[in-house]
Structure 1
Amino acid sequence: MRPPRTPDRILFVAGAWALALIWLLPLAYAVWTAFHPAEFETRFALFAPLTLENFVRAWNAAPFARYFVNTIVLVTMVLAAQLILCSLAAFAFARFEFPGKNLLFALVLVQLMVMPDILLVRNYATMGSLGLIDSILAIGLPYFASGFAIFLLRQTFKTVPRELDDAARVEGCSWLGLLWRVYVPLAKPTMLAFGLVSVSHHWNNFLWPLIITSSVETRPLTVGLSIFATTDSGTEWSIITAATLITSAPLLIGFLLFQRQFVQSFMRAGIK
């Protein structure tokens, strides 16, 4: 049975449509411009010819294959490090008692309030002292630990009954075995939800990779995309939008194919 159309419900639905249109209009413009010749950048014609030339020119104007490899390596490396390190930290906060536990966890929460841009200079100096400037490792290393992941996993681990700990320990399972065989399988929805956030963030991250890299061999997609804004021939929106769609296509396609799993993972993880 459908809920009644109360004024509040109508207002919420109208607000949802308004937000959807605000998000869709720029995307629709980008798709229109990318698939049509340059003379249709600023005007609409119902039977305007379609073309893939803009994508061919954009792909040939930059080494996108290398940028894709760099980005995939980056997001995979960062996510793997975050899940391993943050799972260990969250398990310690959820199940162990040790001096300074509350203070350390408070510091983890404080990290959530610190803007990453504040740490750019310090992080750059650290990467320089380690000899890692202009490397993929330098892009990802400052993000190997995530306060957000530790907080989410700790909250999930605390819901696991301690009787499972006792049963596993009686069977001779070590603490690492307990984490891997009991806690990690139960926390898969939370890990998937965080993984989506992490991959999306590092796929689209721009400022830090721009600062720490200077060569094609280490640049991710977002930094490579910036070259289209500095061409000598002026702004060619058809090429820029085509390059933008090439960059964002994997995330859009992934979301459209697995949107049901995405939503379910967030609901099971309890993320509001």
Structure 2
Amino acid sequence: MFDMLETAGAWLLGILWVLPLLFALWTAFHPGAYAVRFDPAAPLTLENFASAWAAAPFPRYLLNTVALVTMILAGQLLLCTLAAYAFARFDFRGRQAAFLLVLLQLLLMPDALVVENYRSMHALGLVDSVAAMALPYMASAFGIFLLRQTFKTVPGELDDAARVEGAGTLGILWRVYVPLARPVYVAYGLVSISYHWNNFLWPLIITNSVTTRPLTVGLSVFASTDQGIDWSVITAATLMTAAPLLVAFLLFQRQFVQSFMRAGIR
């Protein structure tokens, strides 16, 4: 009985997820007159995608977004790995208090720090730059916690064996801990890329020019016309923005699920 309810719930969630996507596909590939009504005889068109592409510099927005998520992920992986390794394997004064501060950061919504982050970026002279969008997210409390819990499960005998082979502290981290935590890195990387690809509020506040805006902020161009919103065009633009993530998920969904399952088991 429980299995039947579980299957029914999974089907229901799947339908709820697919319906908006089907509506978006219908709206994007049909003229604006058919955006809010279903007509099997409605003609298919790619004009909405052409209009969306011409209305905004999508190549520039895409380049900014790729640079943003790459910069953030690289910084997070480096800083979170070093911090997690220190919390997991080193005994130093104030370790528990410092880790408690990291955990407390999980209770803070990023939006609550917008004002202070803006002041910091303004003081550094980085307003309206990709670096300003990335710097506040370079360190992740969730990433530190996740990797620290993973590193603590690594047997200490592996450290001793690596030292016998002549490996130093960073060598042990790179050759022992990082390879064993690969599933966790994959899971965290996918979450980080997805979140920052879709982030809107902070990039909207910190950027002022077309040359630095990411895709999410670029979409607001379609909602600021005097003629009102053309849902067919804006839906086409939304699909172009979400397409890389959708394709990546379809290609790597098995690795995505397996990585989270392994990360959860640890």
| Global fold match (TM > 0.5) | yes
Secondary structure of 1:47's match?
coil
Correspondent of 2:145 among 143, 147, 151: 151
SS in 2 for 1:270: helix
Shift, 1:47, TM fit: 2.9
1:76-87 pair list within 5 angstroms: 76-87=70-81
2:229 pairs, out of 229, 235, 241, with 235
State the match for 2:13 in structure 1: 19
Q: Which residue of 1 aligns with 2:119?
A: 125
- Letter matched to residue 26 of structure 2: W
Within the alignment, does 1:138 sit opposite 2:151 as a pair? no
Could you tell me which of 111, 121, 131 is aligned with 2:105? 111
* CA distance in 1: counterparts of 2:184 and 2:8, whole angstroms: 31
Separation (CA, whole Å) in 2 of partners of 1:235 and 1:27: 19
In the aligned structure 2, how far is the partner of 1:222 from the partner of 1:209? 8
Deviation at 1:233, TM superposition (A): 1.4
Q: Can you give the 5+ residue segments of structure 1 that lack an aligned partner in the other structure? A: 1-5
CA distance in 2, matches of 1:188, 1:141: 25
Structure 2 residues without counterparts, runs of 5 or longer: none
Separation in 2 of the partners of 1:225 and 1:195? 25
TM value normalised by structure 2: 0.97
Code of the residue aligned with 1:60 in structure 2: it is A
RMSD: 1.2
Q: Does 2:93 correspond to 1:99? A: yes
Task: State the alpha-carbon separation in 2 of the partners of residues 87 and 124 from structure 1.
Answer: 27
Q: Which moved more, 1:215-224 or 1:42-51?
A: 42-51
Identity %: 68
Amino acid at match of 1:148: F
1:89-142 deviation digits (Å, cap 9, x = unpaired): 000001000001011111111111101111000000010000000000000100
Q: How many residues align?
A: 266
Corresponding letter in the other structure for 2:185: M
Question: So what's the TM-score if we normalise by structure 1?
Answer: 0.95
Structure 1 residue runs of 4+, over 4 Å off? none
Q: Deviations over 1:141-181 (max 9, x none)?
A: 00000000001101111111111100111222110111111
Where does residue 201 of structure 1 map in the other structure?
195
Question: How far apart, CA to CA, are the structure 2 residues paired with 1:271 and 1:231?
Answer: 50
CA displacement at 1:198 relative to structure 2? 0.2
TM-fit CA distance, 1:265? 1.0
